[in-house]
C-alpha cells in the first residue's frame, strides 16, 4: 500500500503541528504584530513596544522592582549575560545538576574563564536540594557568588521545586545570589520572582512566550545589579549597567530587533488576555493528557517516562524513553513527513535514548490530540511495541478536567 502522502511537490497540506519544546508555534496575532516596516530610531512606537515588553515581563515574572534587560539573542546569549555580569574572571558559581541544560550552562561558564562547582545529577530526578545546601555549607570562604538554577530542564522534562530550593539555600545562611533560568517554564508554569527572592531571572522568546527565536531577556534585582556594578570583568554588549537607560538605543546596545519586540509585546498581551491562571491551568491539563497517553503506550513495556517522580514532570515537555536500538531520528522523520507532527529528539546524555513531546505555548486540546495521534501512528509504523489505548486515555483525561474558563465560558 502506498503511504499516505500529505506532502506533495514540496507543499505541506494543512498545518504541520510543531511540538518541539521550543521553538513553539506562533499565534496569528503575534505574526500580524511582527508584519510591519522597520521604524526610524526616534519613532515613539519603538519606545512604546519596548516598554510594553518590560512592563509585561515584570507582570508575568511577578516582580515590582527588578530591571528588565532585553537582548537580540537566544537563551545561550542570556546565559552569557549572567556569567559576564555577575562573575569576575576566576569567580565561581554553583550549578546544580538537572540534565543537559544545566551542564551546558556550566560548560559555557567555564569557557568564559569562570569556575563552576556542580552537584551531581541523578537521571530522572530533579535538582538534589540537599546536595546544593551541602555545597554551600562547605564553601566557608563564600567563594560561590551565585547559584545558577535551571527551573525546567528541557532535555529531562523535569522541573525542580524552586521554593524548596530557596528555603534550603536560606537555611545555609550563604549569601550567594539565586539565579533562575525559566526559558522552558515561563508562560507555562507559575513563577513569582519577588516572592521567591530570585535575584536574576532569565528567559527567551521562543518557548512558552510563543514568539519566534531571537529575544533573550533578564530581570535583575538591586542586589544583582550592585554585584554587576562592582564586577571588574571586561564586557560591553551584555553589560547591565550600560543598558540601564531610558534610551532604547542604549537599552539594546544598538538598534532594537523591532519586529521581534513588537511580537513579544503582542504575545504578552495574549497571555494577559487569556488570564495567567487560565494559561497555567491549560498547560496543566494538556500535560495530563500527554502523560495519560504515555502511560497507555508504556503498558507494552517498551516506552517509559524519563522523569521518575510524577510530581516533578514538567508541564512544558515530556521526555519518553525508548528501547535501545530504536532509531529516534527515523521515528521523528516518519511523524513529521507522513503525519505532519514535528517533535524533538533528546539531547546530550539522553541522545538516542528518548524523544520529547513539547506541550507548551500556543497549544490546545485539539493540537495536542493531533500530536499524540501522529506520534502513535509513527510508533506503529516503526514497529515499536505500544499499548493501544494511549489516545483513549488522553481524551479521557481531557474529558475529566474542569473547563478552563475563557471569555465565552466565564
Ligand X SMILES: *Cc1c(COP(=O)(O)O)cnc(C)c1O
Give me the 80-99 binding string for ligand X, x by CB under 6 A, dash otherwise: --------------------
Should residue 71 be labelled a site residue for ligand X when binding is judged by CB under 6 A? no
Pick the piece of the chain touching ligand X (CB under 6 A) from 50-58, 177-185, 221-229, 363-371: 177-185
By CB under 6 A, how many residues form the interface with ligand X? 13
Candidates 49, 63, 98, 154: give the one binding ligand X (CB under 6 A). Answer: 154
Note whether 22 binds ligand X by CB under 6 A.
yes
Closest CA to 188 of 313, 279, 88, 270: 279
Which of the stretches 27-35, 181-189, 274-282, 337-345 binds ligand X when contact is defined by CB under 6 A? 181-189
**184: contact with ligand X by CB under 6 A:** yes
User: How far apart are CB 360 and ligand X at their closest, in Å?
Assistant: 10
Q: Which of 41, 51, 67, 76 binds ligand X (CB under 6 A)?
A: 76
Site string for ligand X, 212-231 (x = CB under 6 A): -x------------------
Rule CB under 6 A: say whether 101 interacts with ligand X.
yes
Q: Determine which residue in the list 30, 92, 183, 265 makes contact with ligand X, applying CB under 6 A.
A: 183
Residue closer to ligand X (CB basis): 150 or 261:
150
Q: How far is the CB of 148 from ligand X (least distance, A)?
A: 10
CB 112, min distance to ligand X, A: 15
**Closest separation between CB of residue 316 and ligand X, Å?**
8
150 sits near ligand X (criterion: CB under 6 A): yes
Of 22 and 56, CB closest to ligand X: 22
Q: How far is the first Cα of the chain from the last one, in angstroms, to the nearest whole number?
A: 49
* All cell numbers assigned to 231: 564586577
Nearer to ligand X among residue 84 and residue 181 (C-beta): 181
Task: Give the torsion sign (CA, 171, 176, 181, 186).
Answer: positive
Choose between 33 and 204: whose C-beta lies nearer to ligand X: 204
Cα(97)–Cα(128) distance, integer angstroms: 8
Q: In what order do the strands lie in the sheet with 67-72?
A: 67-72, 215-220, 200-204, 177-181, 144-150, 92-96, 115-119
Q: Which of 326, 321, 325 is nearest to 346 (CA)?
A: 321
x/- letters, 185..214, toward ligand X (CB under 6 A): -------------------x--------x-
Q: How far apart are CA 305 and CA 157, in angstroms?
A: 9
Residue of the chain from 20, 24, 49, 74 that contacts ligand X (CB under 6 A) = 74
What interhelical angle do 258-274 and 44-61 show, nearest 10? 40
Decide whether 150 or 162 has the Cβ nearer to ligand X: 150
Assigned C-alpha cell, 215: 529575544
Q: Does 75 bind ligand X (CB under 6 A)?
A: yes
Minimal distance, residue 273 CB to ligand X, in Å: 25
Q: How buried is 308 (Cβ within 10 angstroms: 0-12 exposed, 13-18 middle, 19+ buried)?
A: middle
- Site residues for ligand X, 273-332, by CB under 6 A, read none
- Site of interaction with ligand X (CB under 6 A): 22, 74-76, 101, 150, 152, 154, 181, 183-184, 204, 213
Amino acid at each position: 500500500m502506498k503511504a499516505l502522502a500529505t506532502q506533495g511537490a514540496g507543499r505541506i497540506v494543512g498545518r504541520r503541528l510543531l511540538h518541539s519544546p521550543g521553538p513553539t508555534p506562533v499565534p496569528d496575532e503575534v505574526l500580524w504584530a511582527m508584519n510591519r516596516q522597520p521604524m526610524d530610531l526616534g519613532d515613539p512606537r519603538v519606545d512604546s513596544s519596548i516598554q510594553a515588553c518590560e512592563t509585561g515581563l515584570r507582570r508575568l515574572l511577578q516582580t515590582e522592582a527588578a530591571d528588565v534587560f532585553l537582548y537580540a539573542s537566544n537563551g545561550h546569549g542570556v546565559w552569557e549575560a549572567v556569567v559576564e555580569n555577575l562573575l569576575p574572571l576566576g569567580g565561581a558559581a554553583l550549578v546544580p545538576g538537572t540534565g543537559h541544560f544545566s551542564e551546558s550552562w556550566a560548560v559555557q561558564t567555564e569557557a568564559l574563564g569562570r569556575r563552576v562547582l556542580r552537584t551531581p545529577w541523578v537521571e530522572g530526578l530533579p535538582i538534589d536540594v540537599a546536595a546544593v545546601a551541602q555545597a554551600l555549607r562547605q564553601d566557608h570562604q563564600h567563594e560561590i557568588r551565585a547559584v545558577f538554577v535551571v527551573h525546567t530542564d528541557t532535555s529531562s522534562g523535569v522541573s525542580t521545586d524552586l521554593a524548596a530550593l530557596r528555603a534550603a539555600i536560606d537555611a545555609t545562611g550563604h549569601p550567594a545570589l539565586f539565579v533562575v533560568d525559566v526559558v522552558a517554564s515561563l508562560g507555562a508554569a507559575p513563577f513569582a520572582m519577588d516572592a521567591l527572592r530570585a535575584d536574576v531571572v532569565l528567559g527567551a522568546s521562543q518557548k512558552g512566550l510563543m514568539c519566534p527565536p531571537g529575544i533573550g531577556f533578564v530581570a535583575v534585582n538591586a542586589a544583582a545589579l550592585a554585584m554587576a556594578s562592582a564586577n571588574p570583568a571586561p564586557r560591553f554588549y551584555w553589560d547591565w549597567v550600560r543598558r540601564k537607560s531610558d534610551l532604547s538605543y542604549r537599552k539594546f546596545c544598538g538598534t532594537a530587533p523591532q519586529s521581534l519586540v513588537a511580537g513579544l509585546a503582542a504575545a504578552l498581551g495574549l497571555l494577559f488576555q487569556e488570564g495567567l491562571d487560565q494559561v497555567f491551568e491549560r498547560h496543566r491539563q494538556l500535560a495530563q493528557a500527554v502523560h495519560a497517553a504515555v502511560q497507555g503506550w508504556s503498558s507494552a513495556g517498551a516506552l517509559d517516562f524519563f522523569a521518575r517522580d510524577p510530581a516533578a514532570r514538567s508541564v512544558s515537555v515530556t521526555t519518553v524513553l525508548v528501547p535501545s536500538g530504536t532509531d529516534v531520528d527515523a521515528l521523528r522523520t516518519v511523524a513529521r513527513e507522513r503525519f505532519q507532527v514535528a517533535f524533538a529528539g533528546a539531547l546530550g546524555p539522553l541522545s538516542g535514548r528518548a524523544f520529547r513531546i513539547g506541550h507548551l505555548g500556543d497549544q490546545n486540546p485539539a493540537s495536542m490530540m493531533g500530536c499524540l495521534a501522529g506520534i502513535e501512528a509513527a510508533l506503529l509504523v516503526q514497529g515499536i511495541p505500544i499499548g493501544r489505548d494511549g489516545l483513549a486515555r488522553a481524551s479521557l483525561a481531557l474529558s475529566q478536567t474542569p473547563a478552563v474558563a475563557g471569555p465565552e465560558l466565564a
